[in-house]
Amino acid sequence: MKIAIGSDHAGFRYKEKIKELLQGLGHDITDFGTHSEELVDYPLFIRPVADAVARGEFERGIVLGGSGNGEAIVANRVKGVRCALCWNVKSARLGRQHNNANVISIGERMLSLNTALNIVRVWLDTPFEGGRHQHRIDLIDAA
């Protein structure tokens, strides 16, 4: 799978670990930055991930920050992106099953590295159920 990833300074450490996991699983990863823990303005790194997913250049995207809130907001401003803010495995699973989330947002300051890695695994492995949920997604994307 082609996956775009990006973070601000507060999500940098987890981004690097998630990249290792994804590469180990055989995914094709493009890192949109940032490339250190130096202070940066998160939209500069999150918006390009969301835009690339929306254009269809990547199947999925992962964005990270301190809480993940701002990153999810920025990503969800892009038409065609459905970004789920994930704080545990259940939120990742439901984001895929019910919302067909093509991007997830993770807050490094909010959860352990092990939880973050498990969120990514579950999100990648969970299919969208479609059916009754599909109609709602189509309406949102058409707006």
Residue 137's pLDDT band (boundaries 50, 70, 90)?
Answer: low
Question: Which long-range CB contacts under 8 A does 17-25 form with residues at least 24 apart?
Answer: 17/113, 17/116, 17/117, 18/62, 18/64, 18/106, 18/116, 18/117, 18/120, 21/117, 21/120, 21/121, 22/120, 25/124
* Residue ranges in 25-127 assigned as alpha helix (H): 43-54, 69-76, 89-99, 113-125
pLDDT tens digits along 13-42: 999 999 999 999 999 999 999 999 999 999
Query: How do strand 2-7 and strand 83-86 relate by DSSP bridges?
Result: unpaired
Query: In the chain, what's the furthest Cα-to-Cα distance?
Result: 44
What is the domain range of residue 18? 2-142
Give the CATH number, domain containing residue 41. Answer: 3.40.1400.10
* pLDDT given at position 50: 98
Residue from 71, 108, 133, 135 carrying the catalytic annotation: 71
Structural domains in the chain (count): 1
Active site residue 71: yes
Residue that wins the pLDDT comparison between 96 and 137: 96
* pLDDT given at position 130: 85
Residue that wins the pLDDT comparison between 139 and 45: 45
Residue from 27, 59, 98, 133 carrying the catalytic annotation: 98
